[in-house]
Structure formats: C-alpha cells, structure tokens
Amino acid sequence: MIKENLQRLKTSLPNNVELIAISKTKPNETILEAYNAGHKVFGENRVQELVPKYEELPKDIEWHMVGNLQRNKVKYIAPFVSLIHGTSSYRLLKEINKEAKKNDRTIDLLIQFHIAEEDSKHGFSFEEVKEMMEDEHFSNYEHINIRGVMGMATFTDDMDKVRKEFKSLNEYFQKLKEEYFSEKEDFATISMGMSGDYEIAIEEGSNMVRVGSAIFGARE
Ligand SMILES: *Cc1c(COP(=O)(O)O)cnc(C)c1O
C-alpha cells in the first residue's frame, strides 16, 4: 500500500513540489518500505524519535525536523539534520547556529510562521521576524542558512479559512524575499500542506508538502 500511495502522490504533485514523508510514530520497517520504493526524504516531529531512526536506518536518508523544537534538544540533531522546519524564536536560531558550528557545518532551516488561530501551533509573527532580521548581530550567525518559510493551518473543515492562512504564509514569504533575501537564490521554499490540505496549499504556492497519513495510513 505504501508504495502505491507514494506513486499516486508523486504522479499527482507538480514537478516543483517536494514531498516530505512524515514518518512520526511509524516503525523502521514501515519507513524502509517507503525507502525501498525509492523515497529518501522523511520528516519527524520529535527529537527522541528522530535520533534513533537516524541511527538505525540507511544513511542516505535526508531527515527533516518538522515539529516544535526545544533549544535544549538541538544538539542531538545538529550533526545530521537536513532541514529544520519548526522554528519559532530568535533564541532557537542562535542555538541552532551554535550547534551547527560545533559540528563544523551549516544547517538549513525554514522560518515557521504562526498562521493558525490555535495557540498550540508555534511560530514567529512577521514583526518578530523583522526584528530578528534587523538585529545588528544577525549577520554573525553564519552557520544557519534560511531557505524559506513553513506554516501549519488551523485544524478545521473550513477550507476557506485554511486557504486564507496559506495565502498569508505565501505573502510573508514574498515580503521576506523582497525585503531581506532578494539576492539569495536558495531562499525559495514554502513548506505548507499536509495530507488533508496539500492540494489547497499547492494552489496557494506551496513547493514543499509534509504528508504522513496519506502515505502511511492513519496514526494510532
Ligand atoms: C504530523 C505532521 C504532518 C503530517 O500530517 P498528516 O496529516 O499525517 O499528513 C505535517 N507536518 C507536521 C508539522 C506534522 O507534525
């Protein structure tokens, strides 16, 4: 089933949209099924789960951290993580920079915006990002590379609302691009859309979707 789900998804996604398979709560055997079907990019939302999976599974897997990341856990994923989606404060970015430097690497990340109405979802406001970008020390953080933005819509059946939230994330992306990253070609990622809303997300400009249950089936 996993192989078929992946194939169906991949043929339906536009070419510019990257698929991140969200494997949280799924055991290694299940992930290997997707891996053996040719998929190499996976996302997890908890450090405690991501680290053992990284250690046990093939080393050519690209691991994305998509969940809310706590500062004291950055050190565990800094040696290997490919892209951090779940960022919500300047302090966290500083910590990622510090741990990246210790590992003698640069870590790619996305700026997570709070676009949903729920407080349980994390992320920056546009004002907070602006303040960070304009901080005189910001350019000293040379071990982080900002690749774009990420957001999660409100959990609701109201698809107009979801669409509006995705639209706002796209607008934040365009504003940041204009104001701070116009010369930076790899500031190009808009990570939005999950199993229930990725089609709308793509219509609103997403080029990276994070899909779990539509590939692996429902979680317990
Ligand atoms: C779980 C999760 C997803 C995938 O959710 P599905 O509805 O299973 O596709 C995407 N993004 C984040 C941040 C998640 O935590």
State whether the beta carbon of 22 lies less than 6 angstroms from ligand 1: yes
What pTM, to 2 d.p., does this model score? 0.97
**Of 20, 30, 209, 210, best ligand 1 pocket probe by most atoms within 8 Å of the beta carbon:** 210
Residue 150 alpha carbon, nearest atom of ligand 1:
13
Per residue in 114-159, pLDDT (tens digit) is 999 887 778 999 999 999 999 999 999 999 999 999 999 999 999 9
pLDDT beyond 90 at 12 = yes
User: Taking a C-beta distance cutoff of 8 angstroms, is the pair 110, 147 a contact?
Assistant: yes
Phi first, then psi, for residue 77 (nearest 5°) are -105, -15
Q: Helix and strand tally (H, E) in the chain?
A: 9, 8
Residue 20 alpha carbon, nearest atom of ligand 1:
10
